[in-house]
């Protein structure tokens, strides 16, 4: 073969090998909705765990900024977009690109109808896991009380009734339709003599205004309050079952790898956190007379 043919032959092989690879290396966009520490922790852990190149954006809580980010991404060829936090999800719901979307660090499952494929990792700890931990923490408790707004949380309460019963607990409820009604709802709950108060991520009952009242009530009545987050434990709740933010980042990376590696075939995938942390307020536990908090896995003491 003469020299020209050799050159064409090498060029042809190079093209055959490199072009598809180049076409496949499109990368990921990671859009973080907030600037809070937990989101940063999750994002850093995600970037550390993921093997692909990522472009990162932070919306600083602005859905409007999210729209601009999605516009700038419109002409980019992306494998997927990863959304950290609810502001990023809200922005995507208004300008969903037709690529696979993976959302994380949100509490409830989210709908993204225009996305090519959707995978979500929520922060919610399922009710069975919660009540089995409550049973270990408070072995003598018989009745748990909960405030909820039926408009938001009826399905969750139905599930919780069964989960509590499995652990030998009676779940008593009080309806709260506005955060301002919390004090009145607690009066109604008091008559049902709960041994503890269990909180749920309900937009009315978990509102800070309502939580402040519930927290005070629980402390005044020496009732262990199970909050929804580490932050509520720091504010005085006895305990909460929450997530490890770094592990949320790592689990999200794993989810992305599996989604792009075609190991997940469904169009809508929902996962729950694999690592659950039990946060305990030491001062509150002392005040409640719980000198030795029973050993439960992955426990973290605060204050």
Report which of 177, 178, 130 is spatially closest to residue 156, judged by C-alpha positions: 130
For residue 235, state whether it binds other proteins (rule: CB under 8 A).
Answer: yes
Stretch that binds other proteins, among 10-18, 94-102, 213-221, 254-262 (CB under 8 A): 213-221
DSSP H or E stretch at residue 56: strand 54-58
| 67 is an interface residue for other proteins by CB under 8 A | no
Report the candidate in 260, 267, 294, 266 with the shortest Cα–Cα distance to residue 278.
294
By beta-carbon proximity to other proteins, the closer residue of 78 and 184 is 184
Is 289 near other proteins (CB under 8 A)? yes
**In the complex, minimum distance from the CB of residue 216 to other proteins, in angstroms, rounded to a whole number:** 4
**Please, which residues have CB within 8 angstroms of residue 168's CB and are 6 or more apart in sequence?**
135, 142
Decide if residue 35 touches other proteins (CB under 8 A).
yes
Q: Which residue has the tokens 């032959």?
A: 9
Instruction: Verify binding: residue 44, other proteins, rule CB under 8 A.
Output: no
Q: Which of 26, 54, 61, 161 binds other proteins (CB under 8 A)?
A: 61
- Residue 177 interacts with other proteins (CB under 8 A): yes or no: no
Establish if 203 lies at the interface with other proteins (CB under 8 A). yes
Strands 276-281 and 239-243: antiparallel
Q: Which region among 71-79, 101-109, 131-139, 185-193 touches other proteins (by CB under 8 A)? A: 101-109
Q: Which is nearer to other proteins, 91 or 99 (CB)?
A: 91
| DSSP track, 203-259 | TTTTSHHHHHHHHHHHHHTT--EEESSHHHHHTT-SEEEEE-HHHHHHHHHHHHHHH
Residue 294's closest CA among 227, 239, 243, 245?
Answer: 239
Select from 130, 132, 295 the least CA-distant residue to 229: 130
CB of 303 vs other proteins, minimal distance in Å? 7
**Per-residue tokens: 243:** 């997530």
Among 53, 64, 165, 180, binds other proteins (CB under 8 A): 180
Residue ranges binding other proteins (CB under 8 A): 34-40, 60-61, 85-86, 105-108, 123, 178-180, 182-183, 201, 203, 206-213, 215-216, 219-220, 222, 228-229, 231-232, 234-236, 281, 283-284, 286-289, 303
């Amino acid at each position: 073969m003469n020299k020209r043919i050799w050159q064409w032959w090498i060029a042809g092989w190079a093209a055959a090998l490199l072009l598809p690879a180049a076409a496949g290396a499109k990368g990921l966009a990671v859009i973080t909705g907030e600037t809070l520490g937990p989101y940063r922790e999750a994002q850093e852990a995600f970037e550390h765990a993921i093997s692909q190149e990522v472009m990162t954006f932070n919306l600083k809580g602005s859905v409007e900024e999210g729209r601009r980010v999605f516009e700038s991404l419109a002409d980019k060829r992306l494998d997927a977009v990863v959304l950290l936090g609810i502001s990023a999800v809200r922005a995507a719901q208004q300008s969903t690109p037709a690529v696979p979307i993976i959302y994380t660090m949100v509490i409830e499952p989210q709908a993204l109808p225009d996305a090519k494929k959707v995978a979500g990792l929520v922060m919610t700890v399922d009710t069975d896991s919660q009540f089995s931990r409550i049973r270990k923490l408070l072995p003598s408790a018989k009745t748990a009380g909960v405030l909820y707004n039926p408009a938001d949380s009826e399905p969750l309460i139905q599930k919780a009734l069964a989960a509590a019963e499995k652990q030998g607990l009676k779940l008593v409820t009080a309806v709260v339709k506005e955060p301002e009604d919390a004090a009145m709802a607690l009066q109604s709950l008091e008559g049902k003599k709960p041994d503890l108060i269990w909180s749920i991520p309900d937009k009315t009952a978990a509102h800070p205004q309502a939580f402040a009242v519930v927290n005070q009530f629980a402390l005044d009545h020496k009732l262990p309050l199970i909050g929804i987050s580490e932050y509520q434990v720091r504010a005085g709740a006895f305990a909460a079952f929450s997530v490890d933010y770094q592990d949320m980042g790592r689990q999200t990376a794993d989810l992305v790898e599996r989604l792009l590696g075609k190991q997940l075939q469904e169009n809508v995938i929902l996962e729950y956190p694999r690592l659950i942390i039990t946060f305990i307020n030491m001062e509150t536990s002392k005040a409640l007379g719980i000198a030795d908090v029973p050993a439960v896995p992955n426990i973290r003491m605060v204050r």
